[in-house]
């Protein structure tokens, strides 16, 4: 005596898994792009609110770059090459030091302040940390955490 077991619908299951991979890729790209744009905007907003704006070079230079990784996709939000030269000092501030006059001359001229006065203040007090990147990424992390379920639902809808 023998019995057999038959499984029906494996073709449909295979097709659903294939669609799942495609859905994860397409929806993942879409959400990552939206989150990256949001992250850029939040860092720009925090930069503006911190008063770290003079020539708009830092705000306009913030961008994102999405690249494939071994396990998926990754987005990097960063300043332009030019803005990156000083973004870290704006973010974290500095201890008292003597900056080169050439680095401050344009800023001092645009604000009608003698460059020596700016240098003297930095020698005494350093510069204040503005934390626009930290605060922007806190906002981004909160948004991603609150929307991960939407990403999962979007993937399931496509399967």
Is 51 part of any domain?
yes
Residue 22: the pLDDT is 85
Is 140 part of any domain?
yes
- DSSP 8-state code for residue 128: -
Is 32 part of any domain?
yes
Which range marks the domain in which residue 45 is found?
10-93+128-158
Residue 36: the pLDDT is 96
Which stretches does DSSP call E strand in 52-137?
63-69, 72-78
Is 4 part of any domain?
no
Give residue for tokens 């929806």. 27
Instruction: Spell 5-35 as b/e; 16+ CB within 10 A means b.
Output: eeeeeeeeeeeeeeeeeebbeebeeebbeeb
Write the pLDDT tens digit of every residue in 51-104: 877 888 889 999 999 998 888 889 999 999 988 988 999 999 999 999 999 989
Is 77 part of any domain?
yes
Is 114 part of any domain?
no
Give the count of domains, the chain: 1
Tell me the pLDDT band of 2, cut-offs 50, 70 and 90: confident
Say how far apart CA 135 and CA 131 lie, in whole Å. 6
Write the pLDDT tens digit of every residue in 115-143: 999 999 999 999 999 999 999 999 999 99
Residue 13: the pLDDT is 78
Give residue for tokens 């790209």. 29
Q: What is the pTM of this model?
A: 0.83
3-state class percentages of the chain: helix first, strand second, coil last, to nearest 5: 65, 10, 25
Residue 128: the pLDDT is 94
């Amino acid at each position: 005596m023998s019995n057999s077991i038959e499984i029906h619908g494996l073709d449909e299951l295979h097709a659903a898994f294939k669609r799942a991979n495609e859905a994860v890729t397409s929806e993942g790209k879409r959400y990552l792009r939206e989150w990256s744009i949001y992250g850029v905007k939040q860092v720009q907003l925090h930069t503006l609110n911190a008063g770290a704006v003079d020539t708009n070079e830092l705000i306009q230079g913030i961008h994102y770059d999405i690249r494939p990784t071994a396990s998926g996709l990754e987005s990097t939000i960063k300043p332009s090459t030019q803005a990156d030269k000083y973004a870290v000092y704006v973010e974290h501030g500095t201890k008292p030091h003597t900056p080169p006059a050439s680095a401050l001359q344009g800023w001092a001229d645009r604000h009608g302040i003698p460059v020596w006065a700016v240098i003297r203040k930095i020698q005494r007090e350093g510069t204040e940390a503005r934390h626009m990147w930290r605060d922007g990424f806190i906002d981004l992390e909160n948004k991603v955490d609150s929307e991960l379920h939407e990403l999962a639902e979007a993937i399931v809808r496509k399967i």
